[in-house]
Amino acid sequence: MTHVLACIDGSAQAAAVCDCAAWASRRLGAPLTLLHVLDQQQYPVSGDLSGIIGLGSREFLLQELATLDERRAKLALEEGRMLLDSARQRAIMAGVAQPECRQRHGDLVETLHELQDETRLLVIGRQGEDSGDAIQHIGSQLESVIRALHRPILVTPGRFAAPQSLMLAFDGSATSRKGVELLTGSPLFRDMPIHLVMVGSETGDAQAQLEAARDRLSASGFEVHIAVRNGDVEPTLHGYQAEHGIDLLVMGAYGHSRIRQFFVGSTTTSMIRTTSTPLLLLR
């Protein structure tokens, strides 16, 4: 798990993905890999059309269509190379010494799963190139990627600015405690004020869990703020984030507790869709 892996495509968010990945690569001291996947459904590999011989007048048309598909695939491949080259130059300008470029023909989720063992952090845009222009629309494959990978995933909106503070949605679960350990040991978050926010009733147990997490982070030199807020998870977290000007949200993905459960179903889509800052999802 050594590389920061960035998904580059032809969407308007590709620049933000590149900038975010370059920032993470520098902070982590990890190599940056820029990945472009040519969708095999949109640009399939040309097949053997010998089975159509004997169809008479249709044969010529089918051959022409096959040739056209091959040309489209070649153009898409070249476009992908140009996108990667542009992203590489942008990353170099941002201070990354030797970003690597990879291009694959296949399924995005399957490709990311294959590269999972060498991935330390995945950076991906909220929208892909097929997502349209709607600002709050999310990419059709994003949820599948989140479900399939067991690596931290940093989702970027349309613009990226280096975060100066962060909030961890904390619920006392094993995932959120793991999040505390990640914050403690990762150079990605060094020198950032951290807000630990629990959504739920303000009980003695909740306060004790927050204080234990705060003490763990404080011992590592972080400035830590804790809070318990009542309300629905999504608006409560976004409200606290806006109130305190926090520009990076960290949360666990999947599970059964109140905070983690909202990552199953429509609330996941809503949370990712409505965030205006990078969102780091932990597995």
Within a domain: residue 30? Answer: yes
Cα 104 to Cα 278: distance, rounded to the nearest angstrom: 26
Residue 151 and residue 185 share a domain? no
Q: What's the pLDDT at 92?
A: 97
pLDDT tens for 157-215 read 889 999 999 999 998 888 888 899 999 999 999 999 999 999 888 888 889 999 999 99
Query: Based on the domain organization, do 13 and 126 belong to the same domain?
Result: yes
Domain shared by 192 and 259, yes or no = yes
Where a domain ends, among 156, 178, 193? Answer: 156
End-of-domain residue from the set 134, 156, 178: 156
Given 156, 189, 205, the domain boundary residue is 156
DSSP 50: G
Residue ranges in the chain whose pLDDT is less than 70: 1, 40-62, 64-67, 69-70, 73, 128-140, 254-269
Which range marks the domain in which residue 31 is found?
A: 3-42+76-156
Give me the pLDDT at residue 126, please.
87
pLDDT for 121: 97
According to the model, what pLDDT value does residue 251 have?
85
Do 273 and 173 reside in the same domain of the chain? yes
Q: Which residues pair with 194 in a beta bridge?
A: 166, 224
Q: Are residues 140 and 171 in the same domain?
A: no
pLDDT of residue 143: 83
Do residues 210 and 187 both lie within one domain?
Answer: yes
- Asked if 260 and 173 count as a contact pair (C-beta separation under 8 A), the reply is yes
- Residue 71 belongs to some domain of the structure: no
Helix (H, G, I), strand (E, B) or coil at 214: helix
| pLDDT confidence of residue 37 | 93
Beta strand extents in the chain (DSSP E only): 3-7, 32-39, 100-106, 119-125, 153-156, 166-169, 194-199, 224-229, 249-252, 279-282
pLDDT of residue 267: 55
If asked whether residues 83 and 191 sit together in one domain, one would say no
Name the nearest CA neighbour of 247 among 154, 120, 173.
154
The answer to whether position 261 is within a domain reads yes
pLDDT tens-digit map of 2-21: 899 999 998 888 999 999 99
Asked whether residue 64 is domain-assigned, the answer is: no
Q: Do 170 and 272 belong together in one domain?
A: yes
Q: What is the pLDDT of residue 57?
A: 54
Same-domain pairing of 200 and 252? yes
Shared domain for 170 and 231, answered yes or no, is: yes
Three-state DSSP state, 68: helix
Residue 47 lies in a domain: no
Query: Does residue 62 form part of some domain?
Result: no
In a domain, residue 18? The reply is: yes
Q: How many residues does the chain have?
A: 283
Edge-first strand listing for the sheet containing 119-125: 100-106, 32-39, 3-7, 119-125, 153-156, 279-282, 249-252, 166-169, 194-199, 224-229
Find the CATH number of the domain harbouring 89.
3.40.50.620
197 falls within a domain: yes
195 and 152 both lie in a single domain: no
Nearest Cα to 189, choosing from 250, 146, 275, 242? 250
Pair 140, 204 in one domain:
no
In single-letter form, the type of residue at position 221 comes to: G
CA distance 36 to 21: 14
How many folded domains does the chain comprise?
2
